[in-house]
Amino acid sequence: MPDVPDSPAAADSLVRIRGLRFLRGTRVIFDGVDLDIPRGRVTAVMGPSGTGKTTLLRLIGGQLRPAAGSVVLDGHEVPALRRRELYALRRRIGMLFQSGALFTDLSVFENVAFPLREHYPRLPARLLRTLVLMKLEAVGLRGARDLKPAELSGGMARRVALARAIALDPMLMLYDEPFTGQDPISMGVLVQLIRTLNDALGMTSVVVSHDVAEVCSIADYVYLISGGRVVASGTPAELRASGSDWVGQFMHGLPDGPVPFHYPARDYASELLDGGGRS
């Protein structure tokens, strides 16, 4: 097995990514990424904006195909799956989208009921109701079941989306930037929920984010991605103590360092003296 040194449970990983290469047009997003998502743990994937963290989730879920490399999920080579097999696999994956992706024409209850109704059309109404209420109770929104998505706050919408994502009791939960745009209270709630749901339901979770403090408080293992590669990985404590300048800058949120504050540009003085004749 190639170079993923300190990966905690490489032997028992639910997702195993090797030599992943992905291009968008001619832009290289991933170039030789190796990653292991250990079973039963919360794994975080962090990195600056625009490094393709969301793309990584879509590659795991089979919504995108890599140019090269392998993505193995629970023994299935995802890019090679046929449509039917892929859909069967996705029934066991939950994904929380950054926008929540709630169906705006359906109530909270119907949103959570949606995957159950689609996949188990013969489910008795009473059982369906019980299941939906259980999922809503888990995220603390049983009382909001009759509201429409437009009536929910951002944090509540994301919790409803979370209830919907766990409706089919997935083995793997993918979180796409779950903390973006949340106030401190909903942020705390979500952080708690991700950890509690993972442990209580025996899931495996992947959290993609750049909120260092929140992620480090719940993640068992962290991968840092930048420039299309994994630049560092380890437990949150290991990364904080890392000797690398770049990792230090990212983990501690410093404005300047190996990643410069300024976007590459001409010399400042000569540009100002130029007088704007040419821009």
Partner 1 sequence: MIAALGRWALTVFARTGRASLMLLAILAGLPSVLPRPRLLVRQLYSVGVLSLPIIVVAGLFVGMVLALQGYTTLADFGAAGSLGTVVALSLVRELGPVVAALLYAGRAGSALTAEIALMKATEQLSGMEMMAVDPVRRVLAPRFLAGILAVPLLAAIFTAVGILGGYLVGVGLLGVDDGAWWAQMQAKVQPLRDVVNGVVLKSFVFGVVANWIAVFEGHDAQPTSEGIGRATTRSVVNTSLAVLGLDFVLTALLFGGVR
User: Does residue 120 bind partner 1 (CB under 8 A)?
Assistant: no
Name the strands in the sheet holding 68-73, side by side, starting at the edge strand that comes first in the sequence: 27-38, 13-24, 68-73, 76-77
> Which C-beta is closer to partner 1: that of 198 or that of 233?
198
Beta-ladder partners of 15: 37, 73
Mapped onto helix, strand or coil, the DSSP state of residue 36 is strand
> Which C-beta is closer to partner 1: that of 104 or that of 270?
104
**Residue selected from 74, 97, 123, 229 as contacting partner 1 according to rule CB under 8 A:** 97
Scanning 14-22, 83-91, 185-193, 203-211 for contacts with partner 1 by CB under 8 A, the matching segment is 83-91
**Residue selected from 9, 23, 101, 216 as contacting partner 1 according to rule CB under 8 A:** 101
Q: Which of 61, 8, 71 is nearest to 39 (CA)?
A: 8
User: Does residue 95 bind partner 1 (CB under 8 A)?
Assistant: yes
Q: Which of 58, 68, 85, 3 is nearest to 36 (CA)?
A: 3
Distances (CA, A) of 249 to 49, 210, 212, 233, 261: 14, 13, 11, 15, 12
Scanning 96-104, 201-209, 223-231, 253-261 for contacts with partner 1 by CB under 8 A, the matching segment is 96-104
User: Does residue 235 bind partner 1 (CB under 8 A)?
Assistant: no
Q: Which of 145, 163, 16, 41 is nearest to 100 (CA)?
A: 163
Site for partner 1 in 132-191 (CB under 8 A): 161, 164, 168, 174
Scanning 41-49, 114-122, 187-195, 218-226 for contacts with partner 1 by CB under 8 A, the matching segment is 114-122
* Structure tokens given for 147: 């509201």
User: Does residue 91 bind partner 1 (CB under 8 A)?
Assistant: yes
User: Does residue 104 bind partner 1 (CB under 8 A)?
Assistant: yes
Nearby residues of 78 by Cβ (< 8 Å), 6 or more positions away: 59, 60, 61, 62, 71, 72, 86, 89
Scanning 21-29, 99-107, 152-160, 210-218 for contacts with partner 1 by CB under 8 A, the matching segment is 99-107
Burial class of 225 by CB neighbour count within 10 A (0 to 12, 13 to 18, 19+): buried
User: Does residue 24 bind partner 1 (CB under 8 A)?
Assistant: no
Contact 43, 234 (CB under 8 A): no
- Closest separation between CB of residue 94 and partner 1, Å? 8
Mapped onto helix, strand or coil, the DSSP state of residue 155 is helix
- Closest separation between CB of residue 149 and partner 1, Å? 10
- Closest separation between CB of residue 179 and partner 1, Å? 17
User: Does residue 90 bind partner 1 (CB under 8 A)?
Assistant: yes
Chain contacts with partner 1 (rule: CB under 8 A): 61, 63, 87-88, 90-91, 93-95, 97-99, 101-104, 114-115, 118-119, 161, 164, 168, 174
